[in-house]
C-alpha cells in the first residue's frame, strides 16, 4: 500500500460480528481476563495480555497499527502527549552516567527534561542543529535526539547523515519528526532507531487532541511498552479515536498547508514591512537543498517564520492585530496560529544561544491552517500595515 491508502486502512480493523470497519471507542478500563469460557489468557494482537487500559486498549492499538504502517516501522506506541512519548523514551533508554545529546534549537521541554535528568547522573549536551555538528559530537553509547526541522527558524537537518554516523559509532538515534511528518520523511527508514511524533500537531491535525507516538523495531517497542505500562503514559481511547480520524486526511492536509505556507512565505518576502522570511521551501533558503535531498516530496510543511521591521514592539503589534489568525502556541492544525518565539518556543533558551540561532525579538512564527490563503494574506496585510 502507498501512503494515502495506509493512512486510511493501516489500522486493519474489521469486526466479523457486526461488519464494522471503523475502530470503535473501547471506553473500558478493564477486559475480562482470563476468558471465562476457555480459561485462556486474552491477548492483544501484539501478544501482550489484554486486561487493563493503562497497558493495552483495542482503540489505541488500532491507531498504533496505522502509525506503524505509515512510519514504515515494525511497531508503534501511542502516548498521552508528545512529551509522554519523549519522557518514557528517556527513562527507558538512559541510565546513570549516560550522555544525551539534543538539538540546541529543539523543543524547549525536550531540552529541559534532558537537563533535569542530570539529577539522576545523566549528562545532557546541546548540539548545533546541523549534521556536521552532530557527526563531530556523537560518540559511542550516546543517546541522540535530533529534530528533522527545527523550531522556530526552520533549519532542516540532514538526518540520514546523522543516522549513518550514529550506526558507525554505536549511538542510539531518536528523531523527533513532528515538523516534517511521515508524509515527507520517515526516520526509521532513514536509519534512526526510533521516530517520535507529537500527534497533537499535523497528525491529529484539528487542534483538539494532545497525543504522541514512538515508532521503531518490534524489540525496541516491546521494551518501551513495559516503561509505558509502569509510567502510565498511554493515550486514552477517545483521543486515539480522534487521532485515527485525523490521520486519514494527513496527506491532503499536509499538501494544502505546504502550498499555503509557500504562497504566504513568498508574499511576505515581498512585503515592505518584513525584513526576512524563514521557510525551507523558499528558493532563497539555505536549507532548501537539504530538504530537496532528504524529503520524499517537494513539500516543506505549514510553518514559516518572519522578521518584522521595527523590532519587538512592531512584532507584538502584528500579534495583537491579526483577526482570523489566532495568537496561540502549537502548529499543524486546521486553524492558523501565530506565536512570538522569544516568549514561547525559545522562552527557556539562554539568550546567547537564541541570538546565535537568529531568534531575534522581531521574529514571529506562523503555522498556516486550512483557511483560504487570500483571507490569510489580507489578515497579515492589515496587521502589518
Ligand X SMILES: Cc1ncc(COP(=O)(O)O)c(C=O)c1O
143-147 β-sheet, strand order: 75-79, 212-216, 194-198, 172-176, 143-147, 99-103, 123-127
Shortest-Cβ-distance residue relative to ligand X: 82
Nearest approach, Cβ of 66 to ligand X (angstroms)? 18
CA distance readout (Å), 295 to 37, 68, 160, 289: 52, 19, 10, 10
Per rule CB under 6 A, count of chain residues that contact ligand X: 14
Which residue from 178, 233, 305, 336 is in contact with ligand X, where contact means CB under 6 A?
Answer: 178
Does the protein bind ligand X through residue 147 (CB under 6 A)?
yes
Residues of this chain, 206-235, that bind ligand X according to CB under 6 A: 210, 212
Minimum Å gap between C-beta 211 and ligand X is 6
Look up 54 and say whether it is catalytic.
yes
Q: Rounded distance, CA 280 to CA 303, Å? A: 10
> What is the x/- site pattern for ligand X, positions 183-202, by CB under 6 A?
---------------x-x--
- In this structure, the dihedral spanned by the alpha carbons of residues 163, 177, 54 and 25, taken in order and rounded to 10 degrees, is -140
Q: Which is nearer to ligand X, 301 or 373 (CB)?
A: 301
Contact, 280 vs 154, CB < 8 A? yes
176 catalytic residue (yes or no):
yes
d(CA 237, CA 188): 26
Q: Could you say which of 54, 167, 229, 312 is catalytic? A: 54
310: phi > 0 → left, psi -120 to 50 → alpha, else beta; which?
left
- Scanning residues 59 to 88, which ones bind ligand X (CB under 6 A)? 81-83
Q: In Å, how far are 74, 321, 337 from 201, measured between CA atoms?
A: 23, 24, 12
- Applying CB under 6 A, the span of 15-23, 176-184, 256-264, 306-314 interacting with ligand X comes to 176-184
Catalytic residues: 54, 107, 176, 201
Site residues (vs ligand X, CB under 6 A): 81-83, 107, 110, 147, 151, 176, 178-179, 198, 200, 210, 212
Amino acid at each position: 500500500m502507498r501512503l494515502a491508502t495506509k493512512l486510511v486502512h493501516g489500522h486493519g480493523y474489521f469486526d466479523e460480528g457486526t461488519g464494522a470497519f471503523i475502530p470503535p471507542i473501547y471506553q473500558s478500563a478493564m477486559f475480562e481476563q482470563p476468558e471465562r469460557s476457555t480459561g485462556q489468557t486474552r491477548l492483544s494482537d501484539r501478544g501482550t495480555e489484554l486486561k487493563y487500559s493503562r497497558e493495552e486498549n483495542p482503540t489505541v492499538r488500532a491507531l498504533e497499527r496505522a502509525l506503524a504502517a505509515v512510519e514504515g516501522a515494525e511497531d508503534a506506541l501511542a502516548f498521552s502527549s508528545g512529551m509522554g512519548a519523549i519522557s518514557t523514551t528517556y527513562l527507558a533508554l538512559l541510565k546513570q552516567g549516560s550522555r544525551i545529546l539534543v538539538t540546541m534549537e529543539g523543543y524547549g521541554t525536550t531540552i529541559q527534561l534532558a537537563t533535569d535528568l542530570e539529577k539522576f547522573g545523566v549528562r545532557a549536551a546541546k548540539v548545533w542543529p546541523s549534521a556536521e555538528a552532530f557527526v563531530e559530537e556523537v560518540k559511542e553509547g550516546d543517546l541522540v535526539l535530533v529534530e528533522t526541522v527545527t523550531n522556530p527558524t526552520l533549519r532542516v537537518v540532514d538526518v540520514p547523515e546523522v543516522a549513518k554516523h550514529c550506526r558507525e559509532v554505536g549511538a542510539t538515534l531518536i528523531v523527533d519528526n513532528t515538523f516534517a511528518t511521515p508524509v515527507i520523511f520517515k526516520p526509521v527508514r532513514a536509519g534512526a532507531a526510533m521516530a517520535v511524533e507529537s500527534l497533537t500537531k499535523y497528525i491529529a491535525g484539528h487542534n483538539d487532541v494532545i497525543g504522541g507516538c514512538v515508532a521503531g523495531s518490534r524489540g525496541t517497542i516491546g521494551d518501551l511498552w513495559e516503561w509505558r505500562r509502569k509510567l502510565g503514559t498511554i493515550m486514552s481511547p477517545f483521543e486515539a479515536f480522534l487521532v485515527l480520524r485525523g490521520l486519514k486526511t494527513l496527506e491532503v492536509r499536509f499538501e494544502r498547508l505546504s502550498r499555503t505556507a509557500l504562497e504566504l512565505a513568498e508574499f511576505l518576502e515581498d512585503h515592505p514591512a518584513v525584513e526576512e522570511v524563514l521557510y525551507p521551501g523558499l528558493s532563497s533558503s539555505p536549507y532548501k537543498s537539504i530538504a530537496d535531498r532528504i524529503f520524499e516530496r517537494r513539500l516543506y510543511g505549514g510553518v514559516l517564520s518572519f522578521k518584522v521591521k521595527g523590532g519587538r514592539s512592531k512584532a507584538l503589534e502584528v500579534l495583537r492585530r491579526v483577526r482570523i489568525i489566532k495568537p496561540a502556541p502549537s502548529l499543524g492544525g486546521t486553524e492558523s496560529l501565530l506565536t512570538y518565539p522569544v516568549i514561547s518556543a525559545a522562552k527557556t533558551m539562554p539568550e546567547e544561544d537564541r541570538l546565535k540561532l537568529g531568534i531575534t525579538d522581531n521574529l514571529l512564527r506562523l503555522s498556516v491552517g486550512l483557511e483560504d490563503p487570500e483571507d490569510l494574506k489580507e489578515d497579515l496585510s492589515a496587521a502589518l500595515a
